[in-house]
Amino acid sequence: MHSAASTDFINDVYPQLSDEERIRVDLAAAYNLIEHFGMSDSIYTHISARLPGVHDRFLINPYGTRFSEVTASNLVAIDLDGNILDDPFGMGANPAGFTIHSAVHAARPDAQCALHTHTVAGVAVSSTKEGILPINQWSMQFYQAVSRHPYEGIALNLAERERLVKDLGPDNKVLILDNHGMMTLGDNVGEAFTLMFNLERTCQTQLAILSSGLTIQNVEPEICKRTSDQYKEFAELSQRNGFHAEWLAYLRLLETVAPHYRA
């Protein structure tokens, strides 16, 4: 059972937050959850969320913070060019780290959140020509729904941003950055996080299957497609009072292990 305090916040306070307060809480939660599940890379990679009611202002972690240090109140607001608009603790932001995010946010107004990771499993799968193989149930969620962008080195010039946006396309919510890592997009922070959580497990499982040396039991394309459709139906059925049940479950986890996230 959860403590009364955590139950009160998720059940009573969270639904009453303003749009900006909820985005701040959700984004700080995503940083802390990525840390909790071992998907962070020191101070590198970012999770960004668009502020409500605008197309060109975003929240991102303060420069140099570990993901476990991010809270709802220390997030930094920046624009598409990386200019700092609001920095409550004077910690700055990393405009270079935001380059990929700004290109994605500018091109995809449907995405409130963009979440980028460098995990061993994600980088490993991103470094293969085959990418994500539809060979287990988790991976079916991503069947025919993944974009790829070839590696061009660390620096992202304007021309590469245009190629990245073209490679991402208008619909997919998963982008493999070849030889580099993974990115997920979400209509909200919870969707971007849950996609990344399942993507990470998919990559880990794929590596385990391939390293077993055994014969892969392939799945017929029509079954892959049907399972992919089922994942979409489950997502719609999993709403609780307007919020996704899986995201609320992750927030309750943080209430136990890292309640400072919403400070």
Dihedral sign for Cα 243, 247, 248, 251, please: negative
Q: Where in 131-190 is the site for Zn ion (CB under 5 A)?
A: 181
Closer residue to Zn ion, CB minimum distance, 122 or 181: 181
Cα 168 to its chain centre, rounded Å, is 15
With contacts defined by CB under 5 A, how many residues of the chain interact with Zn ion?
1
**DSSP secondary structure string for all residues of 66-105:** -GGG--TTT-EEEETT--EEE-TTS----TGGGHHHHHHH
Shortest Cβ contact with Zn ion: which residue? 181
Q: How far is the CB of 21 from Zn ion (least distance, A)?
A: 29
Closer residue to Zn ion, CB minimum distance, 21 or 178: 178
Q: How far is the CB of 81 from Zn ion (least distance, A)?
A: 19
Closer residue to Zn ion, CB minimum distance, 40 or 141: 40
Q: How far is the CB of 174 from Zn ion (least distance, A)?
A: 15
CA–CA dist 16, 24 (Å, integer) = 14
Cα-based torsion angle of the residue sequence 7, 10, 15, 21 in order, rounded to the nearest 10 degrees: 140
Q: How far is the CB of 183 from Zn ion (least distance, A)?
A: 8
Closer residue to Zn ion, CB minimum distance, 116 or 244: 116
CA–CA dist 36, 19 (Å, integer) = 25
Interface contacts to Zn ion, rule CB under 5 A: 181
